[in-house]
Amino acid sequence: MTTVTYDDFLKIDIRTGRVLRAEPFPEARKPAFKLWIDFGPEIGERKSSAQITALYTPEGLIGQQVMAVVNFPPRQIGPFISEVLVLGVSDAEGRITLLAPDHDAPPGARMH
């Protein structure tokens, strides 16, 4: 395990967002969805590719809150640009469960 300092941790900007739109991403190498997420007025809407197809459907994701890293550089994934990294944890079978606040939080709220 790599040790990081608290200052290193503070460089990672993790915010709440609300999924506005979700679509299948058939061009991805591994099963994934394309997500459009609202991070509030300061950051706005950002896109992400997320490998969360085992436990989620596009329809079920609409309106759901997520946590995401918003200050990584964009990544080209096939024909899609992923602008944020949606956070999740994997279970014993490798299925990803999204990380989200357990109470409603405003879009763009920063994790402390």
Architecture of domain 19-98: Beta Barrel (2.40)
Q: Are 57 and 92 in contact (CB under 8 A)?
A: no
pLDDT tens for residues 69-99? 999 999 999 999 999 999 999 999 999 999 9
Mean pLDDT of 31-47: 98
Residues 12-31: tens digit of each pLDDT:
999 999 999 999 999 999 99
- Compute the Cα dihedral for 39, 43, 45, 46 and give only its sign: negative
